[in-house]
Each structure stands twice: as C-alpha cells, then as structure tokens.
Amino acid sequence: MARILIIYSTTDGHTREICNRLREIIEQQAHQVTLVPVGEVADADLERHDRIVVGASIRYGKHRPAVVEFIERNAEVLNRRASAFFSVNVVARKPAKNQPHTNPYVRKLLQKVSWRPTQVAVFAGKIDYPRYGVLDRMVIRGIMWLTGGPTDPKAVVEFTDWRQVEAFGGVIAKM
C-alpha cells in the first residue's frame, strides 16, 4: 500500500472532479489517497507521502501562479518521489493538442520548472457558460467561436474523456 497525495488547483471544480475519479480508481488498488487544494498543502504533507500528484487547470493561458510556485518550491522533494502532473484545459479537446508533448500549456510549464514528473497527462476540460460571469462568458465564447467550439451561452459541455482519466488513475496506482 502506498500513501498518495493529490494536490489540485481548480477554479470551477472540474479539476477536483477529475481528482475524485482518480482517487476512486487508485483506492480500488488498495492505496491510501489524500486530496488537498494547492493553497492548503504543508511541506510536511509531502514528506508523509510516497507518491505525489499535482493537477491544475488553465485559465487565460496559465496554470495558477500558486501551482507554479508550489512546484518550484518543492521540486527537489517532488523529484525524489514517484510523481505525476496533469493539466486540464479546453485546448486539449483538439486531437493535435491532447498529448503532454503537444499541449502548449504542459510544455510551457515543464520547460519552466525543474520538476521531472514520472508521469504526465493532459485532460480536456469543461465549458460551463451559465456558471461564468458576463465578461468571462463573452471572452470564452469569442475564443470558442474562433476555434470551432460551442458558443451557445447556455451550453455546458464536458470534453473530458473519463476513460482516459481512469487509465491515468491506473498508471498512478502502479508508478
């Protein structure tokens, strides 16, 4: 049995949902999973776990600064453990951008930090227009119009491939 820490950054909750699914899959393999938002993780938590997973969504082209800061501050301990990173963004709904090495946000993050995760994944996220404020809705609709995505202001579209998420849970359980 391994103790696995999943640290996440979410704005609208979708990355947390992905983490919950990962947790279910990993716990089925008799490992112990702790889920914690990036703002609440303590250094001691890292020491207490055998494997560390970081999952973060993209907003306006970036992972939240708290995520990058956390990774940079803890790169050394992360590199000493089996570890995984995943990014959640809607660009990953495009087949040409749905792999860690083809997704611009994953590439940029891994170029920036000295952490070398054992496993990396990218998942397509969710569009939830009714949930967004007026300005965000307008901007995201504009981007979707430009990139061939949904523009109906009432649309809620989940692009996530849950089988891919489950498969990644299996990878974390074994890494």
| Contact footprint for ligand FMN (CB under 6 A) | 10-15, 57-61, 88-91, 125-127, 132, 136, 140
Helix/strand/coil for 30: coil
Closest distance to ligand FMN from the beta carbon of 2 (Å): 25
Nearer to ligand FMN, 20 or 29 (CB): 20
Distance CA 175, CA 171 (A): 6
Closest distance to ligand FMN from the beta carbon of 73 (Å): 22
Closest distance to ligand FMN from the beta carbon of 130 (Å): 12
Q: Which two tokens stand for residue 153?
A: 């202001």
Residue nearest to ligand FMN (CB): 125
Helices (H) and strands (E) in the chain, counts: 6, 8
Residue (of 18, 17, 4) closest to 165 by Cα position: 18
Distance CA 152, CA 109 (A): 31
Nearer to ligand FMN, 136 or 166 (CB): 136
Nearer to ligand FMN, 31 or 126 (CB): 126
Nearer to ligand FMN, 38 or 140 (CB): 140
CB 88 within 8 A of CB 125: yes
Closest distance to ligand FMN from the beta carbon of 94 (Å): 9
